[in-house]
Amino acid sequence: MKKFNLFEQIADNFDSHARQHIPDYNLVIQKTIDICDSNLMKQSSILDIGCATGAIVRSLSNLGFENLHAVDSSQQMLDRCPKNIATYYLSNQFPIIDTKFDAVICNWTLHFIKNKISYMKKIYGALNTGGFLILTEKTENDGLALEKYHNFKRSQGVTEEEIINKANLLKDIMFIDSIDWYLKELKILGFKKISIFHATWCFTSLIAIK
């Protein structure tokens, strides 16, 4: 779960930054919450990987979910998470937790991990049978999709200099694979049903059921 230093620098306004740079950021979070609310009990165990400042666990807690776990590689992010609603872990690896999960959420995080297959194996192993993974990833980075993605950023007030600088920052720490790659590898791991529940310019959201 390696993240570039900018994430620590923008911890105070992470959510507003994310909305500027990630198309449908709020919508994907809301869909994630809706999936959990429709398919889990309030006592179900949930792990949020790359929790940032805790937007997802906050929303789940507000709905009455009480067995929440969250991990991030930035202490600055974790310091800004809501207290006493989840068990938090500071790690850039899959956390060692003595429990199985009914749901693992990994939105906008796995693409910062070079050895994705190894990490996905750990997610799979940590899920109960019948549990599910919610995964949102950057799955395209060129052509028409990238042009439209940059147009989205411009519409949110991001300058050309900021677009170029961020692309350079991400060059060596973001590892992008296609949607076909994810569908294939998740199936190989053993997930029984894999569905796309949201897609926009350069980003795809999946649910995979064990």
How confident is the model over 125-143, as pLDDT tens digits?
A: 999 999 999 999 999 999 9
pLDDT (tens digit per residue) in 47-88 = 999 999 999 999 999 999 999 999 999 999 999 999 999 999
* pLDDT for 3: 45
- Which pTM was predicted? 0.93
Architecture of the CATH domain 6-209: 3-Layer(aba) Sandwich (3.40)
pLDDT at residue 115 greater than cutoff 80? yes
Q: How far apart are CA 126 and CA 167, in angstroms?
A: 33
User: How many CB atoms are located within 10 Å of the residue 110 CB?
Assistant: 22
**In the chain, domain spans:** 6-209
The one-character DSSP state at 83 is T
Query: Using one digit for the tens of pLDDT, what is the confidence trace for 147-160?
Result: 999 999 999 999 99
- CA distances 73 to 36, 88, 99, 134, Å, are 24, 11, 20, 19
Cα dihedral sign, 50-89-47-95: positive
SS3 73: coil
Please give the average per-residue pLDDT across 191-201, as a whole number. Answer: 98
**How do residues 17-32 score in pLDDT, each as one tens digit?**
899 999 999 999 999 9
pLDDT of residue 172: 84
pLDDT confidence tier of residue 7, bands split at 50, 70 and 90 = low
Question: Can you list the alpha helix ranges (DSSP code H) found in 79-198?
Answer: 116-126, 143-155, 160-170, 179-189
Name the β-bridge partners of 204. Answer: 137, 199
Kindly report the average pLDDT of the chain as a whole number. Answer: 93
| Per-residue model confidence (pLDDT) at position 29 | 98
